[in-house]
Chain A
Amino acid sequence: GAVVSQHPSRVICKSGTSVKIECRSLDFQATTMFWYRQFPKQSLMLMATSNEGSKATYEQGVEKDKFLINHASLTLSTLTVTSAHPEDSSFYICSARDHRGSSYEQYFGPGTRLTVT
């Protein structure tokens, strides 16, 4: 089946620094990838939709200058949290939409736990 990886799985950074999270589709091409954020014991909230070769579409309330998304290839999207603060600490999950065939199924990465100290 389709596999999506995320790197790193866990990262700790100091307040004010930036951190990059990678999301890769390993065995399929994904023209669209999604970035979600999950707070402890809460649901997944969509942050942005990443389209290969174009600008990401951000959900209302998500700062595009703080959460930079780059989808440079059909298998890689990156999320960069710039000038991170403790309130950015969260679990970030990406998903990639497989456009093969007629089903628009999404495959989720294992998530990245970000802790900002």
Chain B
Amino acid sequence: AQSVTQPDIHITVSEGASLELRCNYSYGATPYLFWYVQSPGQGLQLLLKYFSGDTLVQGIKGFEAEFKRSQSSFNLRKPSVHWSDAAEYFCAVGLNQAGTALIFGKGTTLSVSS
């Protein structure tokens, strides 16, 4: 069965430091890959997505992610974290089948220290 793993439940990063959030997926073919951010009590905001092509994807708010087929990974990165980046981050997989829902990882909580 398809699955998404986010190994880190909670990460604390100093403001200005770099960030990498890990995501691994299990799927027989190349899936559609997404990163969403959720602030407390809010809905989901799409940060970036990968469907095909260049494996390094640029997103909003200075985030980027790299798809590595050999590692079944889609890690999210940001070179310099801002205090406003503190939130919950979800990696999700979309299957290449019409009418199928996204499969979400359990999420990583990012805290930013000053």
A93 neighbours in B (Cβ, 8 Å): 43-44
Which parts of B1-42 form the interface with A (CB within 8 Å)?
32, 36, 41-42
Determine whether the beta carbon of B42 is less than 8 Å from that of A32: no
Residues of chain A contacted by B109 (CB below 8 angstroms): 41
Q: How many A-B residue contacts, CB cutoff 8 Å?
A: 56
Specify which chain B residues have a CB less than 8 angstroms from the CB of A106 in the assembled complex.
94, 101-102
A64 contact set on B, CB distance < 8 A: none
Supposing A93-B44, A105-B49, A111-B42 touch, asked if A42 and B99 sit within 8 A by C-beta, the answer is no
21 interchain pairs, CB-CB under 8 A = A6-B43, A31-B99, A34-B101, A34-B102, A42-B106, A42-B107, A43-B106, A43-B107, A44-B44, A44-B104, A49-B99, A49-B100, A93-B44, A95-B101, A99-B98, A104-B32, A104-B98, A105-B49, A106-B102, A110-B42, A110-B43
Interface residue tally of chain B, by bracket? 20 to 34
B88 to A: closest C-beta gap in Å: 8
Contacts of A105 in B (CB 8 A): 32, 49, 94
Asked if A46 is at the interface (CB within 8 A of a chain B CB), the reply is yes
Q: Which of A93, A95, A99, A104 has the most CB of B within 10 A?
A: A104
One digit per residue, 1 when the CB lies within 8 angstroms of any chain B CB and 0 when it does not, for chain A 65-109 equals 000000000000000000000000000010101010001111011
> Does B90 lie at the interface of the complex (its beta carbon under 8 Å from any beta carbon of A)?
yes
A32–B105 Cα distance when bound, in Å, is 22
Rounded to whole Å, the gap between the CB of B60 and the closest CB of chain A is: 11
The secondary-structure label for the interface of chain A is strand
| Chain A residues within 8 Å of chain B by Cβ, number | 25
Q: Kindly list the 10 A-B residue pairs having the minimum CB-CB distance in the complex, ordered from nearest.
A: A110-B43, A108-B44, A34-B101, A111-B43, A43-B106, A43-B104, A46-B101, A44-B104, A32-B99, A43-B107
B105: A residues at CB distance < 8 A: 43
Query: Which residues of A, 6-22, contact B by the 8 Å Cβ criterion?
Result: 6
How distant is the Cα of A11 from the Cα of B60 in the complex, in angstroms? Answer: 31
The interface residues of chain B lying within 8 Å CB-to-CB of A41 are: 88, 109
Q: Which residue of B lies closest to A44 (CB)?
A: B104
